[in-house]
Amino acid sequence: MNITQKQEGGIDIFSLNGRFDAHCAADVEEKLNDAISRGARKLLLNLEGTEYISSAGLRVLLAIAKKLKKEGGQIKLCSLQPYVQEVFDVAGFTQIFTICKNLEEAVGDF
């Protein structure tokens, strides 16, 4: 898993490339938590390069979403690939996350 990070108009954008599995979950969580600790309240996860997610990845997303909600922030996701979308549907995550079609739409949605 390769994680790149940038800021655009007050939004912290993380692009995840590779399998979002149990092996990298702790690393992703740490990077997102670091951003929140530094004061980030608008997080955008670009999942264009993520073709696979397991429950470990879902767990990180849920934990971060809960934490941000408590802090008055929000997380949005964009560019879900077909398999990730399917896992989201099965796990009931489609209803609890804001999911945008692409990066542009997501940035405009904040």
Q: Which residues bind another protein (CB under 8 A)?
A: 19, 21-23, 51-52, 54-56, 58-59, 62-63, 65-66, 69, 82-83, 86-87, 90-92, 96
The C-alpha torsion from 91 through 75 and 19 to 82, rounded to 10°, is: 60
CB of 76 to another protein, least distance (A): 13
CB atoms within 10 A of CB 47: 23
Distance from C-alpha of 42 to C-alpha of 82, rounded to nearest angstrom: 25
CB of 6 to another protein, least distance (A): 26
Query: Nearer Cβ to another protein, position 3 or 91?
Result: 91
